[in-house]
Amino acid sequence: MEGKQQQHQPPAGRAVMGAASDERRSEDGKDGAGCETLGRPLGPTPSQSRFQVDLVAEGAGRPAEELRKASREDGAAGKGSEEAKGRFRVNFVDPSAGDESPGEPGGGSSEGGNVSFQNGGDTVMSEGSLHSGGHHHYYYDTHTNTYYLRTFGHNTMDAVPRIDYYRHTAADLGEKLIRPSLAELHDELDKEPFEDGYANGDEGTPAGEATASYTPDSKGVVKFGWIKGVLVRCMLNIWGVMLFIRLSWIVGQAGIGLSVVVIGMATVVTTITGLSTSAIATNGFVRGGGAYYLISRSLGPEFGGAIGLIFAFANAVAVAMYVVGFAETVVELLKENGALMIDEMNDIRIIGAITVVILLGISVAGMEWESKAQIVLLVILILAIGDFVIGTFIPLDSKKPKGFFGYKAEIFMENFGPDFRHEETFFSVFAIFFPAATGILAGANISGDLADPQSAIPKGTLLAILITTLVYVGIAVSVGSCVVRDATGNVNDTIVTELTNCTAAACKLNYDFSSCQPVCQYGLMNNFQVMSMVSGFAPLISAGIFSATLSSALASLVSAPKIFQALCKDNIYPGFQMFARGYGKNNEPLRGYLLTFLIALGFILIAELNVIAPIISNFFLASYALINFSVFHASLAKSPGWRPAFKYYNMWISLLGAILCCIVMFVINWWAALLTYVIVLGLYIYVTYKKPDVNWGSSTQALTYLNALQHSIRLSGVEDHVKNFRPQCLIMTGAPSARPALLHLVHAFTKNVGLMICGHVHMGPRRQAMKELSTDLAKYQRWLIKNKMKAFYAPVHAEDLRDGGQYLMQAAGLGRMRPNTLVVGFKKNWRQSDMRDVETYINLFHDAFDIQYGVVVIRLKEGLDISHLQGQEELLSSQEKSPCTKDVIVKVDYSKKAETDTSVAFAPSFSERTTTSQEDEDGKTPTQPLLKKDSKSQPSPLNLTDQRLLDASTQFQKKQGKSNIDVWWLFDDGGLTLLIPYLLTTKKKWKDCRIRVFIGGKINRIDHDRRAMATLLSKFRIDFSDIMVLGDINTKPKKENIAAFEEMIEPFRLHEDDKEQEVADKMKEDEPWRITDNELELYKTKTYRQIRLNELLQEHSSTANIIVMSLPVARKGAVSSALYMAWLEALSKDLPPILLVRGNHQSVLTFYS
């Protein structure tokens, strides 16, 4: 048994783990830690344990035989038998024994040989044993392998680094393994590390749902090496018809020197693009999709989606272009032999259609057949090139009249300089040649079919560019050295007597071709079939032309569907989803082949490709430009994830390549270039607008981060200036979705002006809260974005509310982008609440003032908290449209914890908190699962109060119309009370509102005070409709209002005069919020002022849209919480929405420029 055990199919990834401990021992072995494994396809409920901690103790309550047996079981996997003390024993639980309690030690004993170790425990099972019935699972390799358990000479669950932990879920190359999570290594053994049904600390995929990665059977899958897959394809695609029927004409027009320059310029563009392609291809695993995959994963779905679509279309139309080139050559041969079927145009259509059907057949037959066809075509092509080279060394007398004399220095010298005719220029010749240099992405386009794309793409692409460039240059030089520009083809044009006025090279070789100029029939300028004429065996050149066209057509026919399939799989354009499906072992995109065939056939039937050709070239160039730009962008973003294995690239050279590609687009055809830009921009805007739910870690994302970081640091070096003051608000919202009115009102004056952070304090058991923080962070930040809120969500865990508030006020924000204003909702039900909560609430104000924050209290008479009205479905509606699994809520029952759970996410109206699990499900405390189907699933009609609350919660989302914003600027707090209403009026929904200003004053100075305030407001450049000076603020309020106030505070009074001194002191110490008689008497004037102000507010501002008023300040330690709360209640009751504002008494307004 040493090192080997009986082979057995492992279970679905659940392990039982034992550990010895003298301190903690379970007599019945039922110390189960309930959690759900991520890798388990369908298994027990979340309450069952992935690990069973079976504690083995030396001689403590277990028979000696069992101990020895356990020791032997452990030794079977390792070498030799060790003592059981301090050992982990790893047992898999057989899924078939699912009815056994997970806590029973017998559940999956190791006697059954469930785990197979090979090579002395080094390898965990054979390939075959991992695949049961086509299903793949994740394996906690560390847990099954005692080799790792003893890695460093002691028992550890810690995994050693290995590649399988870093694979994606749908890895084609091997199993996805999950390393032990931090919770498994760090949490106490007798606790439940995963109470939410998620394993590995990853809430990404709920247990039991689509987690098993399905990998196609590797047998029969065709994968190509770098020669067959990339080099051959690229060479065939680059060597096109141009090589045989246009290169000689280019040499005639531009001369040998400029022809080499033309080829060199094209090569510079393609080489830079090749280097950039190599850099991207070696920066991580490359899947299928070629140029689309490279660009989309680098620059994001917007550019990738745009290029993917036009690149796939360009390849589809390129099939038609190459097939028509082939058909034209065939029709030319038929014409020479008088064998035309109908007429030239229709013959091209017939032959083209037949050809494309045959090519489709080869493609659909599979990549292996297509690859064999490519090899045959390459052999023919190389033979044709060889045939031409051999022909140049055999100058026959019969060919001399046609201008071919063999290698002659005179011809080389004459043809070295340019001789542009028929309005051709250097750039027009370049535009004609450049399409011959494209095709460098032919190998990258089938990246999914390469055995090792990271190695194959750089090697194959760059070598193909080098070989093809050398061949182009070689043929250009040799044809320019052998053939004159003009020849008659007439044998009788030989020179008998020496001509004095003939200086052409042909004259020196005893031929006079001047008779036919300027339009001759032969020579470089006039005859496109020069290479056939020069070659040793002319039919082989025709075969070469056929080979070049068909191979390029075949490569494009394969590339287009593969790119389109990759695009459709990513669901960038939902309408094309049907084309994502693949068939057979190679996942062939048969639907894509059919679509490509139909597009190609349509353009073949047009048979007029002179208009289409430049657009195709421009589409290819646009993708080259973006590949180059991707490398520049990724390098500029300095993302740690940008680590190409291919080092021979430079970000500035890549940028140069991108610019050159854009220039070449205009050189080739300016209108086609503009059309390409418009199409790319249109698709870019469409994808940006649709916002596909993908996250590929693009360089755009990295650069956004880098820019934000650099600007934040730069901002930190600048001192704040009063002119640039902006309210940066920390809103204590709890769950943002629970208080929409609070959020929308603050958003109205911070949007595009200042920072807005939604604070959420989690309390209760720390372990529970820690898990909630990460899930809530993703969920509520997405909720804010979905609701177009320009805000951040900041959850914290604290022992109590006050601590949480202090943490947020001190630590929220970054550099200069820190909150300076605390915004809370008014605690409406404070009289029914536990007064300790009220004490905490008021202490938040004191803490804010201590930290030099301004404070804003917002009150709506209907209330703010609508969480109890939101059904679970409504709460989750923000996540329903998103395919991302981050928001999946699993139905788990935590009722056992609900009774004792005190976790409350802080919200301003926390008096509305209740300890029942029913209320806790409202989103304030996501410790309770949100997807319980109970009585709430049937929405019942709302009562009148709730309906009003719901209506009030949306009032700030509507246009406010022509109404008043009343500003009661009673005390100078630095100007925040005035700045907030001004900022509101700058927003579209509030722009029709007028500001009315109310100030306190003396009856005998009312006009003077009004003029002084008007002067101040005009200097501040703040428009106002009216200023009202209140001279009767200090008038005594009505008796009934005073009586109502005294009745309100009665339950909170200490009445120390009626008690003994000791009793009163003890009571005040235990309940510091109580109002003393002394305090009430001391602050009688201030109390009356609040009651009187409410009367004035009822009189003047009862019709205002919103009231902004100075918040009264209570001296810390002198005014009790209950009295201060009573002041706020008395001041703000029965009014329209009111903001009680107090700045930090530093100027936020200035009239200096």
Cα separations in angstroms, 373 against 4, 243, 369, 380: 48, 20, 6, 11
Distance between CA atoms of 789 and 781, rounded to whole angstroms?
Answer: 9
Residues of the chain falling short of pLDDT 50: 1-150, 171, 191-218, 872-938
Two structure tokens written together for 1: 């048994």
Two structure tokens written together for 588: 């062939």
Two structure tokens written together for 493: 């044009």
Q: Beta-carbon neighbour count of residue 836 at 10 Å?
A: 14
Distance between CA atoms of 550 and 556, rounded to whole angstroms?
Answer: 10
Full strand arrangement of the beta sheet holding 88-92: 31-34, 49-53, 15-19, 88-92
Predicted confidence at residue 155, as pLDDT, reads 65
Residue 190 C-beta-side C-alpha neighbours within 13 Å:
8
Which helix or strand (DSSP H or E) is residue 77 part of?
helix 64-77
Cα separations in angstroms, 152 against 73, 147, 156, 686, 1075: 21, 10, 8, 55, 66
Global pTM value: 0.68
The answer to whether 117 and 145 are in contact (CB under 8 A) is yes
Look-up: residue for tokens 């080489």?
271
First to last CA, the chain: 88
Helix runs in 403-529, H state only: 409-416, 426-433, 453-482, 505-508
785-805 residue pLDDT tens: 888 888 899 999 998 888 999
Predicted confidence at residue 497, as pLDDT, reads 54
Torsions phi, psi for 42 (to 5 deg): -145, 115
User: Between vectors from CA 23 to CA 21 and to CA 29, what angle results, nearest 5°?
Assistant: 60
Distance between CA atoms of 1127 and 1110, rounded to whole angstroms?
Answer: 13
Predicted confidence at residue 226, as pLDDT, reads 87
Predicted confidence at residue 487, as pLDDT, reads 81
Full strand arrangement of the beta sheet holding 1026-1030: 792-797, 756-762, 729-732, 821-825, 854-859, 1138-1142, 1106-1110, 964-968, 994-1000, 1026-1030
Predicted confidence at residue 518, as pLDDT, reads 65
DSSP letter (8 states) at residue 1101:
S
Predicted confidence at residue 193, as pLDDT, reads 42
**SS3 of 800, please?**
coil
Distance between CA atoms of 622 and 618, rounded to whole angstroms?
Answer: 6
Cα separations in angstroms, 114 against 6, 109, 385: 8, 8, 64
DSSP letter (8 states) at residue 727:
-
The answer to whether 233 and 929 are in contact (CB under 8 A) is no
Distance between CA atoms of 1122 and 831, rounded to whole angstroms?
Answer: 9
Predicted confidence at residue 501, as pLDDT, reads 62
Predicted confidence at residue 758, as pLDDT, reads 92
Distance between CA atoms of 743 and 759, rounded to whole angstroms?
Answer: 11
Two structure tokens written together for 488: 């008659």
DSSP string for 519-541: S-SBSTTT-TTHHHHHSSSHHHH
344-356 residue pLDDT tens: 778 888 988 999 9
| Nearest alpha carbon to residue 478 among 487, 486, 470, 467 | 470
| Nearest alpha carbon to residue 273 among 618, 624, 648 | 624
